[in-house]
Amino acid sequence: MKRLFLITGILVLFCACNNTIPKDYVEHTIDLEHNLGQLTISLPPEFDTVYSWTRWQGDPCSVQVLYRFANKKYSLPQEQGTYYNFVADSLYQLTIVQFKYQGECGDTTTKKIDNELLERFVERYMECYLDIDIFLKEIRTIHKRDFIVIGSKYTRYHSEEKYETELSLYTEVNGYSVWLEFVCMAEDCTDFMNRIEKSLHSIKITAPTKNE
């Protein structure tokens, strides 16, 4: 019952419409892979560290490029080689994920962001994680771009990192996938969700500047 109450509270806060970006939020810009332009987002000041690395799992088509925004007062581990450890670096973390060789692997077909794709993603979540609660699933338009948005909370009963709340956003740019993954590792992530909701309104993906 307690877990249901927390999830309901998160959803109520997340749905509160307030598009104002707080004055202390910091604007960040990264260059996307495949010459797709730039992604800009304003984040709470807790996200004071940014770094990038490459994750690979043996198959060249699975190689991912990751940009992570985190808090420097917490540990900042990152995956090496085939080692994959999905442990949050802090209570406030954002990872932006792209496939490095997506074009070379032939997957550049634009997928229509609609309810059918949304439900496919939700089914995938339910298959991959036990005891997961999907508290949000929607298609949201941000600065004229559609994103699939999935909010989830689940409990690892046999792990030191017991609680995890995640908000994932998915979009495509010219047939290439771009993921934004917000993660909170705490029993109550209501404040986290409330703060990143303000960040979502600031997401912009701009096309690359063409050379004259």
Residue 209's pLDDT is 61
Q: Which residue has the higher pLDDT, 157 or 135?
A: 135
Residue 186 lies in a domain: yes
Residue 211 lies in a domain: no
The enclosing domain of 79 has a CATH number of 3.40.1000.10
Contact call for residues 181 and 1 (beta carbons, < 8 A): no
Residue 22 lies in a domain: yes
Which residue has 């032939």 as its token pair?
A: 106
Domain tally for the chain?
1
**Span 3-9, average pLDDT:** 47
Contact call for residues 84 and 63 (beta carbons, < 8 A): no
Residue 87 lies in a domain: yes
Residue 92 lies in a domain: yes
Tens digits of per-residue pLDDT, 32-70? 998 999 999 999 999 999 999 888 767 777 788 999 998
Tens digits of per-residue pLDDT, 148-196? 999 999 877 666 667 889 999 999 998 889 999 999 888 889 999 999 9
Burial class (CB in 10 A: 0-12, 13-18, 19+), 110: exposed
CA-closest candidate to residue 31, choices 198, 170, 209? 209
H-helix or E-strand containing 9? helix 2-15
Residue 212 lies in a domain: no
H-helix or E-strand containing 2? helix 2-15
Residue 20 confidence class, pLDDT cut points 50, 70, 90: confident
Q: Which of 15-24, 131-140, 166-175 has the lowest mean pLDDT?
A: 15-24
pLDDT at position 81 over 60: no
Contact call for residues 181 and 9 (beta carbons, < 8 A): no
Residue 121's pLDDT is 92
Dist. CA 85–CA 14, nearest whole Å: 28
Residue 120 lies in a domain: yes
User: Which residues span the domain enclosing 153?
Assistant: 2-206
**Span 136-152, average pLDDT:** 96
Residue 84 lies in a domain: yes
Residue 188's pLDDT is 87
